[in-house]
Amino acid sequence: MKRRPIWFYIILNIIISALTTLAVISIWERLQSIPQTPVISTSPVEGAKTLAPATLPPLDQVVIEIENVFGAGDVQNEVVVLKHVGTDEFSLRGWQLLAEGSRSYTFPDVTLISGSIRVYSRNGTDSAVDFYWGRTDPAWQSGGKVTLVDSNSNVRAEYVIP
């Protein structure tokens, strides 16, 4: 019985490893593109479900909270996590995240139904649950305060960054 040279098995191993890696990456990307929480865009995108603009929830009703701020001081890692704690859907259009020093992020035309959303300080492409501010410098710092205001400038949530 003739034995094959070692280089044959090395090349075979490289090919199998490359195919396995590509398959895993492909599956991972498909899973990441599926929205994990149902946030529906109300912008006029072809095929998107459109909703009538919602009225603001009563001021005494907590509908959203600032759950956490991660990576404060590092623009590439900064993210504010907001959690929907109410039961009714509502529009975030015109709502703002305010940072000390007159920096603000204004939400696009989206309706929050349930779950959590994230606002990253850095550049990126908005998705159903991830929004990007487009900053080149950090927006948040330890000890600073994040304020969420609605489209009528009513304070809806505040969070002091540890």
Task: With a cut of 90, say whether residue 158 has pLDDT above it.
Answer: yes
pTM: 0.65
Confidence class of residue 29 from pLDDT cuts 50, 70 and 90? confident
Query: Residue 152: which region, alpha, beta or left (left: phi > 0; alpha: psi -120 to 50)?
Result: alpha
Q: CA-to-CA distance for 139 and 155, rounded, in angstroms?
A: 19
Among 138, 120, 135, which Cα is nearest to 73's? 138
Kindly report, as residue ranges, where domains of CATH 2.60.40.1260 are found in the chain: 64-160
Count of other CB atoms within 10 angstroms of residue 21: 10
84-123 pLDDT, tens digit per residue, is 997 888 889 899 999 887 789 999 988 888 889 999 999 9
How are strands ordered across the β-sheet holding 64-70?
Answer: 64-70, 79-84, 116-120, 130-132
* Mean of all residue pLDDT scores within the chain: 83
Checking phi first, is residue 115 left (phi over 0); if not, alpha (psi -120 to 50) or beta? left
**Residue 18, pLDDT above cutoff 70:** yes
pLDDT at residue number 41 = 42
pLDDT at 75 over 90: yes
Specify which residues 111 forms β-bridges with. 40, 91
Given a cut of 70, is residue 2 above it in pLDDT? yes
Q: Which CATH superfamily is domain 64-160 in?
A: Lamin Tail domain (2.60.40.1260)
Confidence of residue 11 (pLDDT cuts 50, 70, 90): very high
Specify the range with the lowest mean pLDDT, choosing from 18-22, 35-39, 57-61, 158-162: 35-39
